[in-house]
Amino acid sequence: DVFPGIVEFGLYDVFLRVARTGIPESLPVGMYKDNRISGWRENYVYRLASGEVVALYEDRTEQKQAESAMEESNERFRIVAQTTNDTIWDWDLVRDRIWWSEGMKTVFGYPFEDIDCSINWWEERLHPDDRERVVHGLNATIREGRDHWSEEYRFRRADGSYAVVNDRGTIMHDATGKPFRMVGAILDITERKEAEEALALSRVQLSHAMDLAHLVNWEFDMSNGIFTFNDQFYALYGTTAEREGGYQMPAEVYAREFVYPPDQHLVDEEVKRAIETTDPDFISRIEHRIVRRDGEIRTIVVRFSITKDADGRTIRTHGANEDISDIVRMQQALQVSEERQRLALDGAGAGFWDWDLKTGNAVFSSAIYSMLGYEPGDFPANYEAYFSLIHPNEREQVISEIKKQIDENLPNCEIEYRCRAADGNWIWISSKGKIVGYDNEGKPSRMTGVNIDITNWRLLESEIRSLNAVLEQRVKDRTEALQQANAALELENAQRIEAETKLQASYNEKVTLLKEIHHRVKNNLQIIASLLNLQSRYIHDDATLATIRESQNRVRAMALVHEKLYKADDISHISLGDYVSFLGAGLFQFYDAKRRGIRFQLDIEEVNVDINTAIPLGLIINELISNSLKYAFPDGRKGAIEISVKKTDHTLAVEYSDDGIGIPADLDWQNTKSLGLRLVNTLVDQLDGTIGLDRSAGTRFTMEVHDKEGT
């Protein structure tokens, strides 16, 4: 009756057991409740020696209420941590134990079983470059008695990567001011940091892009007629904000000081359009000239948009100015270049063509039509129509050669054929073409080239052959006559003198004719070199341009032989030393070798060689000098190129050397893909010669070539 609730509480059963067994028992904390009292109790039951059973209890109500409050607080703590995506931590400074919320797992990937509750575990995961700074700052905050701490640092995730975090904590102090607890939260700000860095980089890149594009920004307020500029704007105009009195300027001052007067009406008309337009998305573009503070006139393109108010009135414009002076100059230079090219082609009697290999359509210059006696448009601008004009005996060969160039992707193609002119006659054409365009699959898609009327040249060649036959027959006839008259030489002395005079005249005629041939060949080779030079101006690929330049040098090397023969008294031989000296000087000038500190030294005996030796030997020396000047002296290296030639019987001993970096030891120079070295080996074989290479010090080629006709 005293405690009516002990049955339901479970204490009554404990009484009975203790009374029966005499063994003390305790009843765990539980909720006791009857019609008078209630509360959390822990009971201890004993049996006395007298046999009476005694129960003692402790009231645990306050403890349980505190625990319940703590659980509610922890639950709120957990919910807050999940809601804020923070990793909450609670550091017992007395025991040096730290508790981590679930964020350490969800945010940084650490399973709870891998987390050590010591502060050292956290310190070890700080980035090595941040650790000393962060730990020192934290300890200083605690040591100096401050209440709050925050720091930004890099924290290693479980996968080894680093997160950028913002960590802040609050320090609790006891009544004596001694710190005993610190609670805080870690926020992962990696994405924000990356976004900030990306934004900063984007701004820098935008600024650089605008600088590279010569773009400058400005604003114009319609209400007061005032421009707002920046330093980049003033830099474009060759002035500064300090000189102009600030970053704002009235429109009339800008127009008076900077707009080129003849273009003022263009600006006025565009501004009027911007004011009157009803289109809110209106964007203007206008080109006009400006006058910089230094007096220089430049061309700009202005692009601007407008801002309208609620009533549809234009109240502000925003724009950007771009300096396009260089583009304008390049366009003007291109027009001049195209005009020069047209004049050069017309002067050389050459016609230009441009062929779309995919459609078959072509663009023919007027000279293509005129050299055949047609007017532009007399036949369609496509190659099917043009091929129909080619002589039937040569048409298939022409088509085959072009197909071979396209299929094998050969760089150049040169063909000679006859075309039917408007008057029915056949005109000899020399056509030189080059692939200049490719489709997405790398297949040729475009060819360009020039056609030259070589009919007169062909006729001249025929006449020369006929004349040579006549001359040979004349010599034969004269010789026979002299032999027959030899027995009566004294009696026919007058006739012999007359015959010799006629023979000499015939010989002089032949010499004059051969000189004219050398002169014409030299001129035609120079035309080819000029055409290659014109073509090179439209080549933007460095490798292709280098190939054209090398071809020019080879053509010049051959032209130089014909020039020497034309000017020489002996039309069959030229001085090898004189020829090599001129050839080397031209290449040294072409590659700017003298300024680079490269010397050219010759030791050539007085040797005269005929054209069959001069041309291949000249091309060999041309290739070796070109290779040395291009590759042997990189990065400002100085040095020398030496050539010596010794004559023994009908053999020329040629030694070529440079003291450059040398040909790589692993290069098979006799089986290389290099056109230059392959050409050298081929030409040495053509001269029935031998060639060797010594790479021990720079590059040294030794050659022995036969010169059966030399003197």
Of 568, 655, 653, which Cα lies nearest the Cα of 610?
A: 568
Q: Same structural domain for residues 128 and 177? A: yes
Q: What percent of the chain has pLDDT above 90?
A: 26
Decide if 546 is inside a domain. Answer: no
The CA distances from residue 551 to 348, 563, 588, in Å, are 19, 18, 16
Decide if 566 is inside a domain. Answer: no
Give the mean model confidence (pLDDT) for residues 596-600: 93
**pLDDT at 577 > cutoff 70:** yes
- Beta carbons within 8 Å of 597's beta carbon, 6+ residues apart: 636, 638, 639
Q: Would you state the structure tokens that stand for residue 632, as one six-digit string?
A: 């042997």
Q: Would you state the structure tokens that stand for residue 377, as one six-digit string?
A: 């448009």
Residue ranges making up the domain that contains 73: 66-194
One-character DSSP codes across 397-434: HHHHHHHHHHHTT-SEEEEEEEEE-TTS-EEEEEEEEE
Cα 314 versus chain centre, distance: 44
Which CATH number does the domain housing residue 303 bear? 3.30.450.20
* 393, 420, 453 - which closes a domain: 453
Cut 0.75: pTM above it: no
Weakest-pLDDT range from 132-141, 166-175, 230-239, 351-360: 351-360
Q: What percent of the chain has pLDDT above 70?
A: 76
One-character DSSP codes across 603-620: EE-S-EEEHHHHHHHHHH
Q: For residue 664, how many other CB atoms are within 10 A of its CB?
A: 9
**Distance (Å, rounded) from C-alpha 236 to C-alpha 215?**
9
**Distance (Å, rounded) from C-alpha 175 to C-alpha 473?**
136
How do beta strands 362-364 and 350-356 pair? antiparallel
Quick one: CA dihedral 690, 603, 566, 618, positive or negative? positive
- Max Cα-Cα span within the chain: 190
Q: Same structural domain for residues 236 and 367? A: no
| Amino acid 527: pLDDT | 46
Can you tell me which residue has the tokens 């710190």? Answer: 179
The CA distances from residue 264 to 261, 321, 439, in Å, are 5, 16, 46
* 453, 487, 511 - which closes a domain: 453
Q: Residues 474-490: pLDDT tens digits?
A: 878 777 776 776 655 65
| Amino acid 87: pLDDT | 87
**pLDDT at 525 > cutoff 80:** no
**Distance (Å, rounded) from C-alpha 567 to C-alpha 402?**
39
Q: Which helix (H) or strand (E) element contains residue 385?
A: helix 383-387
First to last CA, the chain: 151
| Amino acid 538: pLDDT | 53
**Distance (Å, rounded) from C-alpha 391 to C-alpha 372?**
13
Q: Would you state the structure tokens that stand for residue 405, as one six-digit string?
A: 């160039």
| Amino acid 568: pLDDT | 52
Map residue 499 onto helix, strand or coil. Answer: helix
Give the mean model confidence (pLDDT) for residues 43-57: 76
How do beta strands 639-648 and 598-604 pair? parallel
Burial letters for 614-636: b for 16+ Cβ neighbours within 10 Å, e otherwise?
A: bbbbbbbbbbbbbbbbeebbeee
| Amino acid 509: pLDDT | 44
Hey, which of 92-96, 522-526, 647-651 has the most confident mean pLDDT? 92-96
Give the mean model confidence (pLDDT) for residues 547-554: 54
Q: Same structural domain for residues 158 and 232? A: no
The CA distances from residue 539 to 215, 280, 436, in Å, are 29, 45, 8
Q: Same structural domain for residues 701 and 582? A: yes
**pLDDT at 276 > cutoff 70:** yes
**pLDDT at 523 > cutoff 60:** no
**pLDDT at 511 > cutoff 50:** no
Q: Same structural domain for residues 254 and 273? A: yes
Q: Which helix (H) or strand (E) element contains residue 289?
A: strand 283-291
Q: Which helix (H) or strand (E) element contains residue 524?
A: helix 493-536
Decide if 493 is inside a domain. Answer: no
Total of domains in the chain: 5
Give the mean model confidence (pLDDT) for residues 228-249: 91
**pLDDT at 611 > cutoff 90:** no
| Amino acid 242: pLDDT | 92
Decide if 199 is inside a domain. Answer: no
| Amino acid 9: pLDDT | 67
Q: Same structural domain for residues 182 and 310? A: no
Give the mean model confidence (pLDDT) for residues 516-538: 46
Q: Same structural domain for residues 592 and 645? A: yes
Q: Are 309 and 210 contacting, i.e. CB atoms less than 8 angstroms apart?
A: no
**pLDDT at 520 > cutoff 50:** no
Can you tell me which residue has the tokens 């030259």? Answer: 452
Q: Would you state the structure tokens that stand for residue 334, as one six-digit string?
A: 């291109």
Of 469, 468, 479, 563, which Cα lies nearest the Cα of 515?
A: 563
**pLDDT at 645 > cutoff 80:** yes
| Amino acid 531: pLDDT | 47
| CA atoms in the 13 A half-sphere facing the CB of 134 | 23
Q: Would you state the structure tokens that stand for residue 518, as one six-digit string?
A: 């050398």
| Amino acid 462: pLDDT | 76
Decide if 206 is inside a domain. Answer: no
Q: Same structural domain for residues 580 and 705? A: yes
Q: Same structural domain for residues 337 and 423? A: yes
* 271, 305, 323 - which closes a domain: 323
Give the mean model confidence (pLDDT) for residues 138-162: 94
| Amino acid 497: pLDDT | 59
Q: Which residues pair with 656 in a beta bridge?
A: 643, 701
| Amino acid 323: pLDDT | 85
Q: Same structural domain for residues 596 and 688? A: yes
Weakest-pLDDT range from 178-192, 205-219, 270-284, 696-710: 205-219
Task: Give the type of residue at 285.
Answer: R
Give the mean model confidence (pLDDT) for residues 218-230: 90
How do beta strands 25-33 and 38-47 pair? antiparallel
Decide if 557 is inside a domain. Answer: no
Q: Same structural domain for residues 622 and 675? A: yes
Q: Same structural domain for residues 77 and 134? A: yes
Give the mean model confidence (pLDDT) for residues 401-413: 85
Weakest-pLDDT range from 229-238, 458-467, 679-688: 458-467
